[in-house]
């Protein structure tokens, strides 16, 4: 997948240098080393390119990063999170660049992983919503999902994401609309931020020469009211970071009203309000949530050209449920074996360690 945890890693990596090149693996490579990908390679290439800290994307990047790859793209060093990534046979994919001193590490984002998001989709519970306590069912899932017999590793397991003001500041642009910019307002759940959202926002961005896009994100309870089931899969805090990381978005309203009111339009001095081709669900009182911008003649419907929706992503997961559960267990087993080998190595007397003479 591509989620805000990846965006945070790319933000940190960009701060370490001047130009960030991101290598994205093919579906074939991911299936071989990790398990079935959730997003296709073409979707992932475009998703990563839409993250505002990324300068360039290298499609079909090799799974094992070599010095040859770094030299090919004139990279001084490569960056990865402080978790491990292993090949299908359990080897560290960054071994060569680490030994050459061309490896840097950034902090992994606590509380999010593809494993956890996949689990939420499969479990159909609302316990991940921001205002709810972790239910016994969700706790049981959190303790067991993707867990291989024999333990829990610190990376693949589930933990709850804790939002902080610092994290929002790190992701936010901090820029206010400037004279001559066109203020465009869009609203929605933006759940499991995906290529359909990116295509929509890119089209909206093209509507003006100097666009300033404000994305209004609805509260979890509001999204659940009009989407039902266990939606949103990502809670409001998580959705905020996902949208802030997008290069087309300038500002986010955290917990926007469902109806686009006269007060909201005046407060943000909105010039244009856009919505996709998805169905507009009436407000609780049966009214059109976009009646005010329509009355003012500033409402515009945009066809993103993408048919991908959050529902379709969930459907992909459910269709491959057994494969994903097997993937998570296999991944954790491999990581635990690597950790155990590293512990044993560290416990050996100096003279007996591999590579010591």
Would you state the pLDDT for residue 354? 43
- Residue 254 belongs to some domain of the structure: yes
- Residue 352 belongs to some domain of the structure: no
Are residues 23 and 94 part of one domain?
yes
pLDDT above 80 for 72: yes
Partners of residue 185 on adjacent β-strands: 214, 273
Strand 103-106 versus strand 78-81 pairing type: parallel
pLDDT above 80 for 355: no
Are residues 215 and 92 part of one domain?
no
pLDDT above 90 for 98: yes
- Residue 169 belongs to some domain of the structure: yes
Is residue 212 within 8 Å of residue 251, measured between CB atoms?
A: yes
Are residues 169 and 42 part of one domain?
no
- Residue 344 belongs to some domain of the structure: no
pLDDT above 80 for 115: no
Residue with more model confidence, 122 or 303: 303
| 3-class DSSP string for the chain | CCCHHHHHHHHHHHHCCCCCEEECCCHHHHHHHCCCCCCCHHHHHHHHHCECCCCEEECCCCCCCCHHHHHHCCCCCEEEECCCCECCCCCECCHHHHHCCCEEEECCCCCCCHHHHHHHHHHCCCCCCCCCCCCHHHHHHHHHCCCCCCCCCCCCCCCCCCCCHHHHHHHCCCCCCCCCCEEEEEEECCCCCCHHHHHHHHHHHCCCCCEEEEEEECCHHHHHHHHCCCCCCCCHHHHHHHHHCECCCCEEEECCCCCCCHHHHHHCCCCEEEECCCCCCCCCCCCCCCHHHHHHCCEEECCCCCCCCHHHHHHHHHHCHHHHHHHHHHHHHHHHHHHHHHHHHHHCCHHHCCCCC
CA torsion angle 106 110 114 115 (round to 10): 130
Q: Could you read off the pLDDT of 168-190 as tens digits, one per residue?
A: 999 999 999 999 999 999 999 99
Are residues 295 and 182 part of one domain?
yes
Which phi and psi angles does 186 have, rounded to 5°? -130, 150
Are residues 188 and 86 part of one domain?
no
Alpha carbon separation from 339 to 66, 303, 335, 345, 351 (Å, rounded): 22, 48, 6, 10, 21
Are residues 172 and 98 part of one domain?
no
Mean pLDDT of the 88-95 span:
84
Lowest mean pLDDT among 148-162, 172-186, 296-310: 148-162
pLDDT over 70 percentage in the chain: 83
Would you state the pLDDT for residue 128? 64
* Residue 320: closest CA among 141, 155, 125, 118: 118
Would you state the pLDDT for residue 321? 76
- Residue 326 belongs to some domain of the structure: no
Domain final residue, candidates 105, 124, 150: 105
Would you state the pLDDT for residue 87? 74
Residue with token string 């590793």 = 153
Domain final residue, candidates 90, 105, 120: 105
Domain that holds residue 238: 165-301
User: At 280, which CATH number?
Assistant: 3.40.50.620
Instruction: Report the C-alpha gap between 272 and 297 in whole angstroms.
Output: 9
Are residues 291 and 170 part of one domain?
yes
Domain final residue, candidates 301, 322, 344: 301
Q: Could you read off the pLDDT of 261-300 as tens digits, one per residue?
A: 999 999 999 999 999 999 999 999 999 999 999 999 999 9
- Residue 112 belongs to some domain of the structure: no
Lowest mean pLDDT among 242-251, 289-298, 326-335: 326-335
pLDDT over 90 percentage in the chain: 64
Are residues 188 and 277 part of one domain?
yes
- For the four alpha carbons of 34, 37, 38 and 43, in that order, the dihedral sign comes to positive
Peptide bond preceding 232 in cis form (omega within 30 of 0): yes
Would you state the pLDDT for residue 125? 53
pLDDT above 90 for 339: no
Are residues 179 and 62 part of one domain?
no
Distance of CA 326 to the CA centre of its chain: 22
Work out how many domains the chain is built from and give that number. 2
Residue 108 — very low, low, confident or very high, per pLDDT cuts 50/70/90?
confident
- Residue 224 belongs to some domain of the structure: yes
Compute the residue count for the chain.
Answer: 357
- Residue 155 belongs to some domain of the structure: no
Are residues 82 and 181 part of one domain?
no
Instruction: Report the C-alpha gap between 237 and 101 in whole angstroms.
Output: 37
Alpha carbon separation from 109 to 13, 81, 169, 215, 305 (Å, rounded): 13, 9, 15, 23, 32
Would you state the pLDDT for residue 116? 81
Residue with more model confidence, 88 or 6: 6
Is residue 153 within 8 Å of residue 330, measured between CB atoms?
A: no
Are residues 197 and 90 part of one domain?
no
């Amino acid at each position: 997948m591509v989620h805000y945890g990846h965006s945070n890693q790319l933000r940190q990596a960009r701060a370490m240098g001047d130009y960030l090149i991101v290598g994205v693996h093919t579906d074939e490579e991911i299936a071989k080393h990790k398990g079935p990908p959730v997003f296709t390679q073409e979707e992932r290439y475009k998703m990563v390119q839409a993250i505002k800290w990324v300068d360039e994307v290298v499609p079909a990047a090799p799974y094992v990063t070599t010095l040859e790859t770094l030299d090919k793209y004139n990279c001084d060093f490569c960056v990865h999170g402080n978790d491990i990534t292993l090949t299908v046979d359990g080897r560290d994919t960054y071994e060569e660049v680490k030994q050459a001193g061309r490896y840097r590490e950034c902090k992994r984002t606590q509380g999010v992983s593809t494993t956890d998001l996949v689990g939420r989709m499969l479990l159909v519970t609302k316990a991940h919503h921001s205002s709810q306590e972790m239910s016994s069912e969700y706790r049981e899932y959190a303790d067991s999902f993707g867990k291989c017999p024999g333990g829990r590793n610190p990376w693949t397991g589930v933990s709850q994401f804790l939002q902080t003001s610092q994290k929002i500041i790190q992701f936010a642009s901090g820029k206010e609309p400037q004279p001559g910019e066109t203020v465009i307002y869009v609203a929605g759940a933006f759940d499991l931020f995906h290529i359909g959202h990116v295509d929509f926002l890119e089209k909206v961005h093209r509507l003006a020469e100097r666009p300033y896009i404000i994305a209004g994100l609805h509260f979890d309870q509001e999204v659940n009211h009009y989407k039902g089931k266990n939606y949103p899969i990502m809670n409001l805090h998580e959705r905020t970071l996902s949208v802030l990381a997008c290069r087309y978005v300038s500002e986010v309203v955290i917990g926007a009203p469902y109806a686009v009111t006269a007060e909201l339009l005046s407060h943000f001095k909105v010039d244009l309000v856009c919505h996709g081709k998805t169905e507009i669900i009436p407000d609780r009182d049966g009214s059109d949530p976009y009646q005010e911008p329509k009355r003012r003649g500033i409402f515009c419907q945009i066809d993103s050209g993408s048919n991908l929706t959050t529902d379709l992503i969930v459907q992909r997961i459910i269709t491959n449920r057994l494969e994903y559960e097997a993937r998570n267990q296999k991944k954790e087993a491999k990581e635990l074996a690597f950790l155990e080998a590293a512990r044993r190595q560290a416990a050996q007397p100096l003279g007996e360690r591999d590579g010591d003479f």
